[in-house]
Amino acid sequence: MIHLLEDENFENFSAYRLSIDYPNVCRIEFNPKSRREKGDVVFHFPDKEKVFVSWGDLETAQKRFHTVEEQAEHSLKNLSKTSSVKKFERVSKDTIEMNSHRAVYNRIKLNEMTGGLFGGKAVPRDGYSVHLHCENSSRYFVIYTILSSNAPQDFGDLFKTMTNSFRCH
């Protein structure tokens, strides 16, 4: 059995002056269109879970959102309005410090409607996100995951371990 929260099971991913520690069992998918200014990377876990790190131009984001809190709220509102999402609930919201910046951490629960000839069924999912604005690198960052119903119970702890290791500049 692999204990993903042990330090020796982590490696460091680094590109464009951002970095994050991830479990060494992950497969990394780097979007080939990613650039320093905008892009994303996905960490694929063996049990099918995924953690995404996305980034973009801070000035562009600040034209729409004056604060990181506004951007996080907008992201959650968009997710809650998705046609396949039912019974959306924010479980917790915290302001945290990440790499010397104020960041917004959210935990959510939702039901995702799966397709079916007679209406499908509701599948419960948990989600976690962190939004961060970095003036030093002139970028915003979003780290997030929407877990499957089969996700390990401690995946939220693993997500926090990964986000605590994040460096944006």
Whole-model pTM? 0.91
Among 81, 83, 78, CA closest to 120:
83
Alpha-carbon gap, residue 34 to 38, rounded angstroms: 6
Region 159-169: mean pLDDT is 96
Tens of pLDDT, residue by residue over 126-162, are 999 999 999 999 999 999 999 988 899 899 999 999 9
Residue 47's pLDDT is 86
- 15: domain CATH number is 3.40.1000.10
- Residue 14 maps to a domain: yes
39: its two tokens: 């892009």
- How many domains is the chain built from? 1
Per the DSSP assignment, residues forming a β-bridge with 161 are none
Main-chain dihedrals φ then ψ at residue 68, nearest 5 degrees: -65, -30
Tens of pLDDT, residue by residue over 53-69, are 999 999 999 999 999 99
* Full domain range(s) for residue 82: 7-164
Q: How many residues does the chain have?
A: 169
Is residue 1's pLDDT more than 60? no
Q: Which amino acid is at 28?
A: I
- Residue 51 maps to a domain: yes
For the chain, give the percent of residues with pLDDT over 90.
79
Alpha-carbon gap, residue 43 to 26, rounded angstroms: 6
Residue 4: band (very low, low, confident or very high) from pLDDT cuts 50, 70, 90: low
